[in-house]
């Protein structure tokens, strides 16, 4: 049985939490695709070239191994910014495409969360959700996790959203056939319940 759930949306909208819960509910595998870009971004940064060289970042992406996704330091704000920068490079996106598509079509079902899953990686995904929330709510969530200055967290989030939405290659955008899920005023349980209900309805429609 193959069944792909594409979960896209901006940073801190709740994709990760929803993705893990949906995967657990249906017994599907889950891939946080942001980790791929974070791993490439952090390595490109650590190589100390200051300005990220597209060819070199592409090489890092081609050599990426599954164990690189478990490295420490990938969840930091700096890693997020580095990820967003390398994610704008077509060389990097191209190098990470096959791994994501293979994951999506694995036996037993898969949930992938990211920015371009429903549009570029898996345009034929059986279920698509675009998870969003207001800038302020998303910044509040990040700020509670990370601390620091709220205004800086909000500015950082907006800068990342802008870069992700305005890049030419696979920009963050809701697929025409994605269901919108605004989590601004929803509890985690309520957001998960809505996502599960949508996936279940698509599952019933496809499996009929
Ligand atoms: O979801 P995240 O915050 O971990 O993602 C980090 C960055 O990686 C994000 O700012 C943009 C990029 N990204 C992407 O371009 N495409 C994806 N499918 C996932 C993440």
Give the pLDDT confidence score for residue 48 in this predicted structure: 62
Helix/strand/coil percentages in the chain, nearest 5: 55, 10, 30
3-state secondary structure of 122: coil
Task: Kindly report the protein residue whose alpha carbon is nearest to atom 5 of ligand 1.
Answer: 34
Structural domain range at position 13: 4-207
- Residue 50 has a pLDDT of 62
How many domains does the chain contain in total?
1
CATH code of the domain in which 106 resides: 3.40.50.300
Could you give the CA distance from residue 190 to residue 208 in angstroms, rounded to a whole number?
26
Per-residue pLDDT in tens (0 to 9) along the chain, 208 residues: 999 999 999 999 999 999 999 999 999 999 999 999 999 999 998 876 566 788 899 999 999 999 999 999 999 888 988 999 999 999 999 999 999 999 999 999 999 999 999 999 999 999 999 999 999 999 999 999 888 999 999 999 999 999 999 999 999 999 999 999 999 999 999 999 999 999 999 999 998 7
Which atom of ligand 1 lies nearest, measured to the CA of 87?
15
Output the pTM of the full model: 0.95
Atom of ligand 1 nearest to the CA of 79: 6
């Amino acid at each position: 049985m193959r069944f792909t759930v594409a979960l896209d949306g901006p940073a801190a909208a709740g994709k990760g939490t929803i993705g893990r819960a949906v995967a657990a509910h249906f017994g599907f595998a889950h891939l946080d695709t942001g980790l791929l870009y974070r791993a490439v971004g952090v390595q490109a940064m650590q190589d100390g070239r200051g300005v990220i060289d597209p060819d070199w970042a592409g090489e890092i992406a081609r050599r990426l191994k599954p164990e690189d996704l478990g490295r420490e330091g990938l969840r930091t704000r700096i890693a997020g910014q580095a990820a967003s920068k390398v994610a704008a490079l077509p060389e990097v996106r191209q190098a990470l495409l096959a791994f994501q598509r293979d994951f999506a079509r694995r036996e037993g079902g898969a949930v992938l969360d990211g920015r371009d899953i429903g549009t570029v990686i898996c345009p034929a995904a059986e279920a698509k959700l675009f998870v969003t929330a207001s800038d302020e709510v998303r910044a509040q969530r990040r700020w509670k996790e990370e601390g620091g200055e709220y205004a800086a967290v909000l500015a950082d989030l907006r800068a990342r959203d802008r870069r992700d939405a305005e890049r030419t290659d696979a920009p963050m955008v809701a697929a025409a056939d994605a269901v919108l899920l605004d989590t601004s005023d929803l509890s985690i349980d309520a957001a998960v319940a809505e996502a599960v209900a949508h996936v279940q309805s698509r599952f019933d429609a496809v499996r009929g």
